[in-house]
Copies of this chain bind each other. A is one copy, B any other.
Amino acid sequence: MLQKGVVEVERDITFRLAAEEDLERIVQMLADDVLGEERERYEDPLPEGYLKAFKAIESDPNNELTVACHDKEIIGVMQITFTPYLTHQGSWRATIEGVRTSSAVRGQGVGSKMINWAVDRARERGCSLVQLTTDKQRGEALRFYQKLGFTATHEGMKMKL
């Protein structure tokens, strides 16, 4: 039995590139998150930075802001970046970032479906590696990604400017 306020997601999750009209909903999801609520601003009108970033992402063929939909409603978002590297004898990598699912569908495997979809997309683009970093504060995320086949072989180091 699902709890009240929870939307049951059946098998029919579809994926597509995000459009400008989706931006408000996407920012709402980014802000509805333990770490995101401190650093995002879901306001009307949206801070201009979001639209500028959206346009930069949209115009770059190596960046795909992807939404997961159920019944035309957006229930998840993630960004996939494709990068060519000289290492490994010349190869492409896919980096997954900013993965969020709607709180209304949590615990129903939507996140797993999204990541599996991103991995398939990386294969389609000829990548030999998929990578992501996950904040060490998100304890469950590590196990979540390990179950999906990722290994925590690296330290993810950041410096704020």
Instruction: Identify the A interface with B (CB < 8 A).
Output: 26-27, 30, 36, 39-41, 47-54, 56-57, 60, 62-63, 65, 79, 81, 83-92, 95, 97-98, 119, 122-123, 127-137, 142, 145-146, 148-161
Contact = CB atoms under 8 A, between A and B. Distances in A.
B119 A159 contact: yes
Contact of A53 (B51, B90, B155, B159): B90
Given A123-B161, A133-B156, A156-B156, A87 B97 contact: yes
Contacts of A57: 84-86
A149 B159 contact: yes
B145 A151 contact: no
Most buried by B among A27, A91, A154: A154
